[in-house]
Structures are given as C-alpha cells and as structure tokens.
A and B are shown apart, each in its own frame.
Chain A
Amino acid sequence: MDRNKEIQEIVRKLFAEKKIDLFIGFKKFRTSDISHPFIAKSEADADKLIFDEYCYNNLAKFIMSYKKFYPKIGILAKPCDIRAVVVLMQEHQFSKEEVVVVGINCEGMVKRNGKEQFFKCRICRPVIPENVADFWVGDKSEMAKKEPGCAELEEFEKLSNEEKNEYWEQEFSKCIRCYACRKVCPFCYCEECIVEKNQPQWIDKSMDTVNNRQYHLMWIMHLAGRCVNCGACERACVVDIPLGKITDKLEKSVKERFDYTSGEDLNKLPPIGLFKPDDKENFIK
C-alpha cells in the first residue's frame, strides 16, 4: 500500500475507535518541497497526512505542547523521534498508555534546495527502541540495513585550544539569540527557562560572544544524557551555527564516559541522575 495511504488508514482507525484525541503528523504545504508538522483532530483531517523526505521536524516537541489539553495523543515518529519520546517517558512526562506511536521507516531527510541530505541523516545509525512503537509503517528490518555513520569529530578535536576557541568565537558571534534551537528541541520544555530568569540574571541576554557562548554551553549541559542528536536545533538555526557538532560531541562524551545512548531503552535511567562509585576520570586532583 502507498505509504501515505497506510498512515491515513491507521490514523482514521485510531480516531474511529476513539483511541486518540489528536494526531501529530506532517502534511504538504504550498510547494512540493515543504512538509509541515500538522495536527489532525478528526478523521477528516487524517486525509491530509503524508510522509516524505522533507519531513525533518522532530514531532516529539509537539507532544509536550498538547498533552495538557488532549489526554491521548498519537504521533508519527521517525526513529530519532521515537528515541525522543522514550527520553520524555523516562522523565515521566507521560506514560506509555497516553501516547500512540506510529513508527515509520526513514531514509534520511533532505534540504529544500537541491535535495542534499542533512549531515545528521547521513551519519544516522537508526537505533529503534524496543516495544515503543504501537504501529510500524514500512518494513522495520530495512532500517537495520543502514550503514552507521561516523560524526567525524576526530579532525576537529585534534585542533589546538586556540584554534577551537577561534572557531567557536566566530560561530557564536553569529548567534542572534533567537532561541529557535531551544524552541524546536523536544527536551526544552521548562516552564521558565534559566535564560528568562532576571533575578538573578545567570545568562545575559545580549548578543555578546561571551554571553552567547555561555548560553550554548548551558543549553548543551542541560541536555546531557537526554539529547538524542536528532539535528533539529542545527536545522532550525537561522544563522547556520554548527550546533550539530556540539550535539555530536555530547553524544560521544556520554557514550564514552557512561556507556549510554539516549532513548535506546525505556527501562534504563538517564546517566546524569545516577552515579557509580568507580566512575573513571583523569582530571580531578
């Protein structure tokens, strides 16, 4: 069956059986190279649902916005989105019963101009958490055949401190503090972000390179052990800061230090809340 028709069929059935109040998916927008996140609220809305290579948004973000008002939510989730859903469940934001996950095969998303695949998708190693998806569109075993990519951080890490500093000074000087990265991240759901806090003001809001660096460092520290490296932040950045490099490094750091990948296993606990008496480090005197 055509992939779009399969999705529409599943969602129509879920609405008919009253298993969901709301379904988060994608629909086409004005031109053929724009796919928009779309909230379907009825069987009739389900006809608009599609999935193609322009569906690069991380839909897990929308669950947090709607779950207060809609007790049962359905979501169309690529493997990276499923991992985001798992992390949110680990943080007890909602239980397995409140969300219906429709998994779907993902061949990687492309940019709107020229159809170039996103770097994050090229290096994606599609880890699909067990027992999370209630439905699957496409042949799940196909996903296991994808070659895992390497984030290619070694070249960058070999640079000297001055070179790295200069690189990031230049990148962070571009930041206009629009907070688009925060807006699209599924794990930035704090009612009041630390950046908004004025008394005391921990992170200055002005677009100074020093403050920008502090913002980005804190934002990534708040994602330690949670970030699934989906690349939504990098795609959202209006001034093309390579945030994907930072999330790649975070993923590598957590993997090396704590042998943990975010969102892989619902039964595991996030590493920053735990400890081992024999954690190994070489920089504490």
Chain B
Amino acid sequence: MAENWEPKIIAFLCNWCSYAGADLAGTSRMKYPANVRIVRVPCSARVDPLFITKSLAEGYDGVIVAGCHPGDCHYTSGNYHARRKFMVLNDMLEFTGVDASRVHFAWVSAAEGKKWSEFVKTVTDAILSLGPVRKEK
C-alpha cells in the first residue's frame, strides 16, 4: 500500500432525500472526510447493480448508495424496488468474496445532515482498514 493512501469512495444519492441531506450537512458546515465523490440520481431505484460493479472495477475503493426512507420515496415505491435489488446484490457480492464493507447502503432523509456526515465517517474508516481495492497500485 502506498504511503498516504486515501480511499476514493463514490456515493449515489437520490435527488430528493439523501442528496438534500448531504447538502444540509454542507450548509451546516459539518465536518466529515472528503473522500466521497457524489453522483446525484433521481431516485435510489435508478442505481443499477451495474453502477456498483463498474465503480469497483474502475478502482473505487468504496461505494455508497443512499435513498429516501421506506415509505417516503418521492416516486412512492422506488426505494422498495431498489431495496430488493440490493438484497440480491449484497448476497452475490458477499458470495464472490467482495468484502461487504466495500458497498454500503443507507436511508438518509433531507433533514438528516448529521446522519450523513456520521455515515460517511463510518464508511471511510471501514474502507481505510480494508485497504485499496486494486492491490497492485
């Protein structure tokens, strides 16, 4: 592992809840690790397992997916559909030896700026202890 390695984490946040929550964390000047790169999607259901596997293949050390709480989806049921997909994806990732600590899911609402910043701290710590996803670099 190179000296001063910083994890690169990509986050797929739904536009209506989790992105707004992250925005709130920003406007409230909450401090959290700067390793996260955020991609805004309209709904957590937009997140195809392909995005997650592609991110890991491209060399991102961690992936975060966050959406509205169950029952609060802006599109009524998007997060329920997303949840089902992620359940199967999680099982298959674990089965093929991709560490479960590399891919994290959370429900973050627009008012939960604090939850977002704490969540990113937890994830970054977890990825730091795992090491880079590309061992050769």
Contacts and interface: CB of A to CB of B under 8 A. Distances in A.
Contacts of A157: 95
Contacts, number: 109
A254 interface: yes
Interface in B95-137: 95-100, 104-107, 119
A69 interface: no
B83 A284 contact: yes
14 contacts: A161-B99, A165-B99, A168-B96, A214-B53, A218-B49, A220-B92, A250-B88, A275-B84, A276-B80, A279-B84, A281-B83, A284-B86, A284-B106, A285-B105
Interface of A: 157, 161-169, 194, 202-204, 210-211, 213-214, 216-218, 220-221, 224-225, 246, 249-250, 253-254, 257-258, 271-277, 279, 281, 283-285
Given A164-B95, A257-B91, A285-B104, A275 B50 contact: no
Nearest to A164: B97
Interface residues of B, number: 34
A258 B85 CA distance: 11
A246 B87 CA distance: 16
What's the dominant secondary structure at chain B's contact region? helix
Contact of B88 (A161, A216, A254): A254
B38 interface: no
Contact of B92 (A165, A246, A283): A246
B108 to A, nearest CB: 9
B107 to A, nearest CB: 6
Given A217-B53, A275-B77, A253 B84 contact: no
Contacts of B97: 161-169
B33 interface: no
Given A157-B95, A164-B97, A217-B93, A272 B54 contact: no
Interface of B: 49-50, 53-54, 56-57, 70-71, 77, 80-81, 83-100, 104-107, 119
Contact of A284 (B81, B94, B107): B107
A197 B83 CA distance: 27
B88 A218 contact: no
B87 A285 contact: no
B57 A204 contact: yes
A166 B77 CA distance: 38
Given A281-B86, A284-B107, 15 more contacts: A161-B94, A164-B97, A165-B96, A165-B98, A167-B97, A203-B54, A217-B96, A253-B87, A272-B81, A272-B85, A277-B71, A281-B87, A284-B86, A284-B106, A285-B107
B96 A221 contact: no
